[in-house]
Amino acid sequence: MSDTDQRTANATESCDVVVVGAGISGLYAVHRLRSLGLSVICFERGAGVGGTWFWNRYPGARCDVPSMFYSYSFDADLEQEWEWSERFPAQPELLRYLNHVADRFDLRRDIRLETSVTGGTWDEAAGRWLVTTDRGERVSAQHLVAASGNLSKPNRPDFEGLDDFAGVWHHTAAWPEGGVDLAGKRVAVIGTGSTGVQIVPQLAQQAAHLTVLQRTANHAASAMNRPLDAQDQAAVKRRYREFRQASRESAFGIALEMTPGEPWETGPRYPSVFDFSEDEARAIMEERWAFGGGMALQNAFADIMVDLKANEVVAGFVRDKIDEIVEDPETAELLYPSGHPFGSKRLCVEMGYYETFNRENVSLVDVRKTPIERITRDGVRLRDGREIELDVIVFATGFDAITGALLRLELTGRDGLTLREKWSDGPRTYLGLMTSGFPNLFTVTGPNSPSVLSNMMTSIEQHVEWIADTIADLRERGVATLEATPEAEEIWTEHCTAVVAGTVLPLANSWWLGKNIPGKPTVFMPYAGGVGVYRRQCDTVRANGYEGFAVDGEVVPLAGEEGSAVAIAKDALALA
Question: Going by DSSP bridges, is the β-strand pair 482-484/441-443 parallel, antiparallel, or unpaired?
Answer: unpaired
| Nearest approach, Cβ of residue 208 and ligand NA7 (Å) | 23
- Across 374-384, b (16+ Cβ under 10 Å) vs e yields ebbebbbbbee
* 73, 216, 344, 564: residue in contact with ligand NA7 (rule CB under 6 A): 216
Q: Does 316 bind ligand NA7 (CB under 6 A)?
A: no
Q: Does 191 bind ligand NA7 (CB under 6 A)?
A: yes
Q: Does 202 bind ligand NA7 (CB under 6 A)?
A: no
Residue in 506, 470, 220, 109 with CA at minimum distance from that of residue 340: 506
Taking a C-beta distance cutoff of 8 angstroms, is the pair 120, 367 a contact?
no
Q: Which stretch binds ligand NA7 (CB under 6 A): 90-98, 395-403, 443-451, 488-496?
A: 395-403
| Nearest approach, Cβ of residue 139 and ligand NA7 (Å) | 31
* 7, 209, 321, 346: residue in contact with ligand NA7 (rule CB under 6 A): 346
Taking a C-beta distance cutoff of 8 angstroms, is the pair 499, 529 a contact?
yes
Closer of 218 and 485 to ligand NA7 (Cβ): 218
Closer of 48 and 196 to ligand NA7 (Cβ): 196
Q: Does 215 bind ligand NA7 (CB under 6 A)?
A: yes
Q: Does 148 bind ligand NA7 (CB under 6 A)?
A: no
The residues pairing with 15 across neighbouring beta strands, listed in sequence order, are 141
Closer of 193 and 529 to ligand NA7 (Cβ): 193
Residue 205: enclosing H or E segment and its boundaries? Answer: helix 194-206
Provide the edge-to-edge strand list for the sheet that holds 549-551: 482-484, 549-551, 554-555
Q: Which stretch binds ligand NA7 (CB under 6 A): 189-197, 268-276, 402-410, 537-545?
A: 189-197
**Interacting residues with ligand NA7 between 498 and 537 (CB under 6 A):** 509, 511, 516
The residues pairing with 399 across neighbouring beta strands, listed in sequence order, are 154
Over the window 351 to 380, marking each residue x when it contacts ligand NA7 by CB under 6 A and - when it does not, the resulting string is: ----------------x----x--------
| Nearest approach, Cβ of residue 195 and ligand NA7 (Å) | 3
Q: In whole angstroms, what is the distance from residue 459 CA to residue 69 CA?
A: 12
The residues pairing with 212 across neighbouring beta strands, listed in sequence order, are 189, 364
Q: Which stretch binds ligand NA7 (CB under 6 A): 67-75, 187-195, 484-492, 554-562?
A: 187-195
Beta strands in 96-247 (DSSP E): 111-112, 117-123, 128-133, 138-146, 168-171, 186-190, 209-214, 220-222
Q: In whole angstroms, what is the distance from residue 28 CA to residue 32 CA?
A: 6
- Count residues binding ligand NA7 (CB under 6 A): 22
* 67, 115, 195, 344: residue in contact with ligand NA7 (rule CB under 6 A): 195
Q: Does 398 bind ligand NA7 (CB under 6 A)?
A: yes
Size of the chain in residues: 576
Positions that interact with ligand NA7 (CB under 6 A) = 151, 157, 190-196, 215-216, 346, 367, 372, 396-399, 452, 509, 511, 516
